[in-house]
Every structure is written in structure tokens, then in C-alpha cells.
Amino acid sequence: MNLRCLSFLFLLLLLQTAASAQPRLPYFFSDNMVLQRNTDVKIWGTSQAGKRVQVSTSWNKKNYAATADSNGNWEVRASTPGAGGPYTIRVSDGRPVEIRNVMIGEVWLCSGQSNMEMPMKGYRDQPIRGSNDAIFESANPMIRLYTVPRSVKLRPQDTSKASPWKIAQPESVSEFSATAWYFGKMLQERLNVPVGLINISYGGSTAEAWMSTDALRAFPSIKLPTAADSASANNRTATTLYNGMLHPFIGYGIKGCIWYQGESNFERAEEYETLFPAMVQQWRKEFGQGDFPFYFVQIAPYNYSQLPPYYAGGKYNSAFLRDAQRKAQRLMPNSGMVSLLDAGEENSIHPADKQTPGKRLAYLALAKTYGEKGFGFASPDLDTMTVTGNIATIKFRDAPNGLTSFGRELRHFEIAGADKVFRPANAVIRRGTVVVSSPDVREPVAVRYAFRDFVSGDLFSTEGLPVSSFRTDDW
């Protein structure tokens, strides 16, 4: 066979392949998916350049059309009703693709590092308390789960690795984020609508790994990778997880985000105080859905000196990172922070109790996003300190019914004078405030509470939500 014939056959094969090709969709547009209710959701994919693509939605029997651009990309926006399903979506450019068993309800993005990624079955030799019973009882067709596979990339990707939507049942729940599961389960039971949970997490990741190059230009201390770094890039390299895992998903309609991360930034607390809000601002801008709810978990107390480089004290006290998270929350509208000051483990960076953070995240969402009332949802936070003589009085916000130690002595307060030396303090709850003093400090200047690497808090709202560790100084 001569070269001309081979060329002709090759061209004919290409034409036949193109003619028979179906429109391609990102993996998260697939059977069992959940779309956000009461909004205009974006649906997108690829086809041949110039092809007209039609999207038909069974819930309203409407057709939406778009023409693939020169790169083959197309998108439409489809209106969604109140919660319901199952529905069908049909996408066709001449050859159809059908997405079945689609539910419409509440969609939440769940992201962070290992404490968000940690599955209900636990890590090897690291359990989730009570998980076996919870997994056994987890079957619920109204909850759908999607996990974005791990992916480290130096350039933004248009698609993620293959992954299916799964209906909640023991086999799928056991592999899914425990924190996210407890959050979503509580939302579904309370709201009685379908809930979709999308887990985009990577253990050991830094905040900057989840940010774009443009967003990180304001942080010259963070090294941006180049092509020469491809061999050494990992989950702590700036931009890599944003590129490989988050970027393909941007544009999918969500209600809000829950986040559990910070452990890998703990020794850079001062930077995190502005880095974290910058990340949230970037995500909100790129999703184009305004200041969507963003609720996050403050890292739990843990003895970080057990980890490389095995340092203790100074900036290696994780209380500085917890304080940075507390301060960052005030910089972010429509946000909330869960304190775990009562739920850490000294010798495990992965606390076995994942129901507590999931439940407290759900309290925040149910109260602040869905308008539920009648229960406590926010931990008390430092408001002001005033000094009279040798007594410092600490006032708190988000403590409408006051404070309690549940009968225990408050043992984690410290007080300092102008010499900046903190000494153990006497602390007493008095009409919703805490009065702090020490016979060794005649003129108080600053107060700290539970400001240690590992500590178990003893100050709570009367609803049982722990006060975060805090400091009034900036030393």
C-alpha cells in the first residue's frame, strides 16, 4: 500500500472518529450527581469546534443550547427548582449523552488536608471513634458523595482524574471524609432535602498549594514553582493542588464550603493570618457566586514537637496558628470557625472524634446559612480586655447566655505586665466575663488563655461550645 493510500485511510479514520464522538463532560457531571437548588447552574464540556450542543433538563423540560468555540469548549446555564429528583439531563451534539438519577438540593464543597480527607473507616492504626456503627447505619439515597482524586500539577487543569458520584451506603461512606459525612448527614436530616458533598482534600497540604499564581503574588515569601520544579512538586508546593484538583471544579454550583486545614502551616502563623483570607477571597471570586458561606475548623491542640523538625516553644507553639485562624475569621464576611479546644489529642494529629467538628460545622451552616434558630452555634470569642488596678476583665462575643467551666477551676489563663513575662493567673467567671489577676502582676498589660501546643480547654458557652485559645498581645 502506497503512502497516498495510507494517508487517505488515516484521514478517513479521523473523520469517522470525529463523526462518532460524543460531547465530553467533566467526570462530576455524571449519574447520581447533585445540583444546587434554586439557582442557575453552569453545565459545561467539550465537543468539536463549531458544533451546536443542546442540553435538555427533565425537571423543567427546557432546552439550552451553546456552540463549541474554536477549542471545542461550550457551556450553558440551566435553572434549577427547589429540591427534588431523580431527574435526567441529556446532552447532545448530534450524538447524545444522558446523565441519570440527578438530584437537586444542597451542594457543599469540603476541602483541606488530612483531617478533612480522613475517611470514615479511619487511617491505618488510626480509628474514627464510633465509625463502624455510623457506617453500618449510613445508607441514605438522599446523600450523594463525590471525591476528587489526588492530583499535583504545575499548570491549571481543565479536567480532573476519573471519579464517580456515589450514593451514600456503607461501602461508599466508609471511604468518604468523616468530617464531611457527619456535616452532610446532619444537614440532610434537618433540611430534608438531597445533599451533595464534594471532597477536594489532600493530606499534609499547605494553604498555598490550594491557591493560584495570581493570588500568591501578594506573598513574596512563598516560592512559586516553575517547570524546573516538576520533579519535586508535591502537595506542599504552591499552586499544585489548586491546579490539579480545584481548578477543574471551579464553576460548579455550590451552596458553600467547609474547610479543615492549617496543620501544615502551623509554624508560619503570622503569614497564615492574611494568607488564609486571601485564599478564601480568591475562591469566591473564581466561583463567581459572591461571598458564599465558608465555615472552617480551627486546628485541634496537639503536641507538634513530635513532628520534624522536633522543635518546641516559640513559633512552634500551634496556639499561634489557632490564634491566626481566630483573627482571620474576622476578616472574612459570611464565615464561621469551629473550635476544637476540647477535642484534641496530645499524641495524634488526627483526633478520633470527627463527629464533633462535623456537628459544629453543621450548627454554623444551619444557623447562619439556613436561618435555623433556638440553639447555640458559635463559640465565644475574645471581644475586649479592660484593666482596673491589678485586675483584667475579658469580655466575649457570641456568649448570649454567658460562660461556664462546668464546675471546674479555670486553670489555663496567664497574665503579664510590662515585662512581657506571663505568669499563671487566677480566673473567675463573673456575669458573662472572666476576671483575671495574679499577685505577681501589679499592672496587667496582656492576658492569654490556653495558649499551649496541646491543651484541653476549660471555658465554654453554656451551650457547651469551647472558647478558642486567644491572646490579647501581639508579642
Which pLDDT tens digit goes with each residue over 11-51?
433 334 444 468 999 999 999 999 999 999 999 999 999 99
Cα separation values, 180 from 57, 108, 297, Å: 29, 9, 11
Q: What is the pLDDT of residue 2?
A: 54
Average pLDDT in the 98-106 region? 98
pLDDT of residue 435: 98
For 138, list phi and psi in degrees, rounded to 5. -90, -10
Q: DSSP assignment, residue 6?
A: H
199 band by pLDDT with thresholds 50, 70 and 90 = very high
Residues 6+ apart with CB under 8 A from 249: 26, 28, 109, 148, 160, 198, 200
Q: What residues contact residue 224 under an 8 Å CB cut-off, 6+ apart?
A: 213, 216, 217, 238, 239
For 126-161, the pLDDT digits (tens) are 999 999 999 999 999 999 999 999 999 999 999 889
The mean pLDDT of 227-239, rounded to a whole number, is: 96
Classify residue 367 by burial, with Cβ atoms within 10 Å: 0-12, 13-18, 19+.
middle
Helices of type H across 95-177: 114-117, 131-136, 170-173
In angstroms, the CA 413 to CA 471 distance is: 10
Q: What number is the average pLDDT over the span 226-241?
A: 96
What is the per-residue pLDDT across 237-284, written as a single tens digit (0 to 9) for each? 999 999 999 999 999 999 999 999 999 999 999 999 999 999 999 999
In order of their start, the domains of the chain are: 20-102 (2.60.40.10), 104-369 (3.40.50.1110), 381-471 (no CATH)
- For a pLDDT cut of 90, what percent of the chain falls above it? 93
Spatial distance between the Cα atoms of 388 and 464, rounded to a whole number of angstroms: 30
365-382: average pLDDT: 98
**How far apart, in Å, do the first and last CA atoms of the chain sit?**
81
Burial of 243 (C-beta count, 10 Å sphere; 0-12/13-18/19+): buried
CA pseudo-torsion sign 18, 21, 25, 27: negative
**pLDDT for the residue 20:** 47
pLDDT score at 21: 63
Residue 57: C-alpha distances to residues 80, 87, 141 (Å) = 9, 8, 21
Q: Are 460 and 408 in contact (CB under 8 A)?
A: no
Q: Which amino acid is at 323?
A: D
pLDDT for position 6: 43
DSSP 123: B
- pLDDT score, position 16: 41
**pLDDT by residue (tens digit) across 381-415?**
999 999 999 999 999 999 999 999 999 999 999 99
Q: How far apart are CA 453 and CA 304, in angstroms?
A: 7
